[in-house]
Amino acid sequence: MDTINILLIGDIVGRPGRTIIKDHLSEICKEYSVHCVIANCENAAGGMSITPEIAQELFSYGIHILTTGNHIFNNRTIIKLLESHSSILRPANFPSGVPGKGFTIVRINNLNIAIVSLIGRINMEPVDCPFITFNTLYDEIRSKANIIIVDFHAEATSEKKAFGWFADGRASAVCGTHTHVQTADETILPQGTAYITDVGMTGPFDSVIGMDKESSIHNFIYHTRIKFKVAQNDPKLNAVLVVCNRQGKAVSITRIVKSYELSPSNS
Sequence-ordered list of residues with C-beta below 8 angstroms from that of 216, at least 6 positions apart, any chain: 207, 208, 228
**Rounded Cα distance, 33 and 164, in Å:** 26
* CA–CA separation, 251 and 238 (whole Å): 20
**Residues 266, 34: Cα–Cα separation, whole Å:** 27
Separation of alpha carbons 54 and 213, rounded Å: 25
User: Any idea what DSSP says for residue 125?
Assistant: -
Count other Cβ atoms within 10 Å, centred on residue 262: 18
Which residues are designated catalytic?
71
